Copies of this chain bind each other. A is one copy, B any other.
Amino acid sequence: MTEFVPPGTRYIDLPSPFPMRRGGELRGARMAYETWGTLSPSRDNALLIVTGLSPDAHAAANEGNPAPGWWEPMVGPGKPIDTRRWYVICVNSLGSCKGSTGPASIKPGTHEPYRLDFPQLSIEDGAEAAVHVVRALGVDQLACLVGNSMGGMTALAMLVRHPGIARTHVNISGAAKALPFSIAIRSLQREAIRLDPNWNEGRYEEDSYPESGMRMARKLGVITYRSALEWDGRFGRVRLDSDRADEEPFGLEFEVESYLEAHARRFVRRFDPNCYLYLSRSMDWFDLGDYCLEHGIDREADTRAGLASIKVEKALVLGAETDILFPLQQQREIAEGLRAGGAEAIFVPMPSPQGHDAFLVDFERFGPAVADFLSTL
């Protein structure tokens, strides 16, 4: 599955064995990462980015890979995350197929991918693996920990499990736990993949990739990543030109359908279906309140108590008003919880029309907000 990994990706071995939270362990596992800028002699300028479900570690162009990254307008010299000042690290999530060990990686002692033999993956496992990368790069405390979407969950798990790992925190379109609407959407995406006969309980090959299941999952993703408001203005009821219209019965007819199709085509075969299933489910399982269970503080998961147990000096929490997958109330909850824990936490709801994906496109709003926050550090 090396075709998924961008050139210039670097690796750090995880401890072997690497125990997994829900049972089992990994042997010979590693994390893919990239960096930008230079670690200061006092090692106090490190900023880690933990990502959403699908991105690789290539957030922006760097010496190892001059191609633009998935967050190019945000990371670089003079950009909101200014690499002249910050030593920026971005990791590919544990369980992904873009360099870090996951279900598509070769299972030690075999010549086959793990597939469904990969142990159950939780957000907390990704957090532990990211903390290991930080330490291995010689950083005791991050100046700032930035998490987007699923990465917002990972960041909170890092903070709750490793007090002092970061001095400040930026949480963008994240959540302290999965809500049932989001669980329902992700469950349906997984069902689409599982129903594809090619999935075959994870035993697909290159020539039997479960393309239609992944296409459905991605389309449903794109629908919930954006917003109805944006699409009203962007697509309206515009039809495809007759030469682009689909001859199949009930085929594509409207621009919005063609947009979904194009998105699905770009995604399918560039992401491993088993990795998708594992990462998707890890989000459903996530509740920061599990901290209370694990520490015997309470018999029930208490998300608020989990948040309030986090100690950071300052935090910036951003979200889009039109986000239906990680709705704004969840970012408000994070800000309030961090404040209850003593942080100076700023909550900035963005009127972006682009929904959950706003942080990947609405740089006019998200850029200055992040830049302003970092300039106060």
Contacts and interface: CB of A to CB of B under 8 A. Distances in A.
A248 to B, nearest CB: 8
A214 to B, nearest CB: 11
Interface stretch (A76-84, A232-240, A360-368): A232-240
Interface in A201-247: 201-202, 212, 216, 219-220, 223, 227-228, 231-232, 234-237
Given A191-B219, A237-B301, A180 B327 contact: no
B249 A181 contact: no
Interface stretch (A48-56, A130-138, A152-160, A253-261): A253-261
A223 B181 contact: yes
Interface in A255-297: 255-257, 260, 277, 281, 284, 287
B192 A216 contact: yes
Contacts of A195: 212, 216
A232 B180 contact: yes
Nearest to A256: B180
A177 interface: yes
Contact of A223 (B177, B185, B212, B235): B185
A260 B187 contact: yes
Nearest to A185: B223
Given A249-B201, A250-B281, A231 B180 contact: yes
Interface string A184-203: 11011011101101000110
A116 interface: yes
Provide the main secondary structure of the chain A interface. Answer: helix
Contacts of A181: 223, 227-228, 231-232, 256
B216 A257 contact: no
Nearest to A196: B195
A178 B202 CA distance: 38
Interface in A283-320: 284, 287, 301
A191 B178 contact: no
Interface string A114-135: 0010000000000000000000
B220 A220 contact: yes
A179 interface: yes
A324 interface: yes
Contact of A219 (B188, B235, B324): B188
B284 A184 contact: no
A224 to B, nearest CB: 9
Contacts of A220: 188, 220
A183 interface: yes
A188 B250 contact: no
Contact of A228 (B179, B192, B260, B284): B179
A202 B234 CA distance: 33
A287 B191 CA distance: 33
Contacts of A227: 181
A180 B219 contact: no
A220 B232 CA distance: 21
Contacts of A301: 237
A260 B223 contact: no
A230 B324 CA distance: 14
23 contacts: A179-B228, A180-B228, A180-B231, A180-B236, A180-B255, A181-B223, A181-B227, A181-B228, A182-B228, A183-B237, A184-B223, A184-B256, A184-B257, A184-B260, A187-B254, A187-B260, A188-B216, A188-B260, A192-B192, A195-B212, A197-B197, A228-B327, A250-B281
